[in-house]
Amino acid sequence: MSSDPVYADLHTHTHCSDGTLPPDTLVRRAAERGVEALAVTDHDTTAGLKDARRAAHAHDIRLVTGVELSTEVDGHAVHLLGYGFAPGHPVLADYLASFTARRRERLRRMVQRLADQGIDVSSDTIDRHVGASAAPGRPHLARALTEGGHVDTYRDAFEQYLGAERPAYVPAPTQPAGEAIDAVHAAGGVTVVAHPGQWMPGTVLRTLRDRGLDGIECYASSHPEYLVDYYQKICRSHALLMTGGSDYHGGTGTENTELGSVGLTRGPWERFEDAAL
């Protein structure tokens, strides 16, 4: 991987989904770390983009409109990153509004499962941790469990209650990947598969390409050098875009990557910018 500094971090989260920082703080920190281009890619919402754009103008940083979409292909969970779209486009806005409603229903069901275990988490505590998020989920509930003294640590919340196959677990809502790709394309954007890692079957990636996938997040904190090389070769072979980002959430949770630690150096960023934005 190049030793050149990261120019563009194209995968970050704010408190509008499961990150911890307000959009303006995230943008300011990115500028302080020398990031020149930033994508805010909250889960299934674009609620943070307006504040992020205002902050980007103030800090002279290029903001890329972004979103991370929870999808599935033949039963396989797949996260897609959308870039460069018009946030207010009605097709995408309707798609995301429907998804927010499903996320809130999932949270309600997890709270009920905790109650069935004799664990009552106050609605005020949950609301405080959900805050401005348009994509409520397990991280918010984990913080509420920790604050309420039901578990000792954030990690314990997942290990005891919220992780897969634990008592309060409810699978995350998803949509067929093709519908998500169509919604982003309708809004003038491109779609990229996020952090595919080692687990993604070739059949899933082929299905995504057939449905109009535009690129692959080659540079990810979970990708060792050999996986970066592997996905770069696929991109070159199929004329797909190459992207990268830190998947920064603000320093809490099960992952703690540094803002601007992973992404595109200037040359790859310019190629992505020319092709997609």
* d(C-alpha 193, C-alpha 234), whole Å: 12
Indicate the average pLDDT of the chain.
93
Q: How confident is the model at residue 256 (pLDDT cuts 50, 70, 90)?
A: low
Burial class (CB in 10 A: 0-12, 13-18, 19+), 210: exposed
The predicted model gives 91-109 an average pLDDT of 93
pLDDT at 222: 92
**What is the length of the chain?**
277
Largest Cα–Cα separation, the chain: 55
Is residue 252 predicted with pLDDT exceeding 80? no
Each residue of 104-114: pLDDT tens digit? 999 999 999 99
Of 85, 81, 63, the residue nearest 17 (C-alpha): 81
pLDDT digits (tens, 9 = 90+) for 154-199: 999 999 999 999 999 999 888 999 999 999 999 999 999 999 998 8
Which domains does the chain carry?
Answer: 8-96+180-276 (3.20.20.140), 100-162 (1.10.150)
- At 128-156, the pLDDT tens digits run 988 877 778 898 999 999 999 999 999 99
Lowest mean pLDDT among 90-94, 185-189, 257-261: 257-261
Structure confidence by residue, pLDDT tens digits, 224-249? 999 999 999 999 999 999 999 999 99
Query: pLDDT for 8-36, tens place per residue?
Result: 999 999 999 989 899 999 999 999 999 99
